[in-house]
Amino acid sequence: MNSHKSILQLAKSTIETESMAISNLGNLLTNDFAEAVELIYNSKGRVIVTGIGKSAIIANKIVATFNSTGTPAIFMHAADAIHGDLGLILEDDVVICISKSGNTPEIKVLIPLIKNAKNSIIAITGNPESYLGLQSDLVLNTYVEKEACPNNLAPTTSTTAQLVMGDALAVCLLELRGFSSKDFAKYHPGGALGKRLYLRVGDLSSQNQKPAVQKNTSLKEVIVEISEKMLGVTAVLEGEKLIGIVTDGDLRRMLYKNFDVNGVTAKDIMTPNPKTINLNAMAVDAKERMENFGISQLLVEDNGLYCGVVHLHDLVKEGII
């Protein structure tokens, strides 16, 4: 069995091989890349990304990146395309074809069909002099000296280069479109990243109970309120005005000090001027505020009125933390 040392050496060699190939990609960029970005940006259609084998898997990922950053895209498997899926391509669509060799049989059948329909073709290939490279309108060179595979066979370095070239296209298009964090949130409403950009404190606090006592509320009632509302805290009010907070930690510290509980009211044990956050603040701001003060709850207010509680657990549940 190989030793841990030899395994780690092989892993390091793999990473270094791929890293060097990616670093060299910048040297392979030509005006074709800039023209490809402009072609996609100015297109009235979608981007159809196609490939076969491992290149098809990379094509799928590039499509996902395009769609999530404002460039409409569809994946089309090169083999399926020549057996009926060619109808996916509409008049104004731009086709990106990915192939390391650029000479696979499916590609040689597919490219003339796309050209006959007069769709523009962008090649992502490691061989610009291949059939694909010579027949395409624009060529993005992803040549790699060798695969990370010890036998120089399994697609490793080459597919990484294809992926990076796709990311470069997506980022350039994102910048041209002025794609903002609000746009990102629109395309990622269900993900943790999107939630960081659109989820507000009020969205969380509205799902919680709203513990509150008046300043003259007895200690027993304070304990009951904290226990029933299950947030480990209660706001202390004077009428409708927020004046303090009592946490379960405050109760424990009071008992630890052998505090005489007879006649004790909320105002006697509360912490005045509690840490608050506005109802309309972003949830991620609540996270930062909790971290800065080393606390697990914030009282929520709006125009000076107490609105509820946002808890650390709410942020964890939504993936903000």
CATH number of the CATH domain containing 239: 3.10.580.10
| More reliable by pLDDT, 258 or 21 | 21
Percent above pLDDT 90 for the chain: 70
pLDDT for 192 beyond 60: no
Q: Is residue 189 part of a domain?
A: no
Q: Do 140 and 204 reside in the same domain of the chain?
A: no
149, 179, 209 - which closes a domain: 179
Q: Is residue 186 part of a domain?
A: no
Q: Is residue 187 part of a domain?
A: no
Distance CA 226, CA 8 (A): 53
Task: List, for residues 100-126, the tens digit of each pLDDT value.
Answer: 999 999 999 999 999 999 999 999 999
Distance CA 99, CA 140 (A): 11
Q: Do 33 and 160 reside in the same domain of the chain?
A: yes
CATH of the domain at 97: 3.40.50.10490
Question: Strand, helix or coil at 292?
Answer: helix
Class of residue 256 by CB neighbours under 10 A (exposed 0-12, middle 13-18, buried 19+): exposed
**Residue with structure tokens 């595979």?**
149
Task: List, for residues 207-260, the tens digit of each pLDDT value.
Answer: 999 999 999 999 999 999 999 999 999 999 999 899 999 998 888 887 777 666
pLDDT at 109: 94
Q: Is the pTM of this model over 0.85?
A: no
Cα torsion through 126, 128, 134, 137, rounded to 10: 90
First to last CA, the chain: 41
Identify the H or E element spanning 20.
helix 4-28
pLDDT at 82: 82
From residue 26, give the alpha-carbon distance in Å to each of 22, 23, 64, 142, 148: 8, 6, 23, 10, 19
Q: Work out how many domains the chain is built from and give that number.
A: 2
Percent above pLDDT 70 for the chain: 93
Q: Give the mean pLDDT of 147-176.
A: 91
Q: Half-sphere exposure (CA, 13 Å, Cβ side) for 276?
A: 24
146, 179, 212 - which closes a domain: 179
Distance CA 190, CA 206 (A): 19
pLDDT for 196 beyond 80: no
Q: Is residue 67 part of a domain?
A: yes
pLDDT at 182: 66
Q: Residue 10 is part of which domain span?
A: 4-179
User: Residue 310 is which amino acid?
Assistant: V
pLDDT at 250: 85
**Residue with structure tokens 């057996």?**
83
Q: Do 76 and 139 reside in the same domain of the chain?
A: yes
Q: Do 289 and 202 reside in the same domain of the chain?
A: yes
Q: Do 153 and 231 reside in the same domain of the chain?
A: no
pLDDT tier for residue 188 given thresholds of 50, 70 and 90: low
pLDDT at 2: 66
pLDDT at 181: 65
Task: List, for residues 34-66, the tens digit of each pLDDT value.
Answer: 999 999 999 999 999 999 999 999 999 999 999
pLDDT tier for residue 149 given thresholds of 50, 70 and 90: confident
The response to whether 83 counts as a known ligand-binding position is no
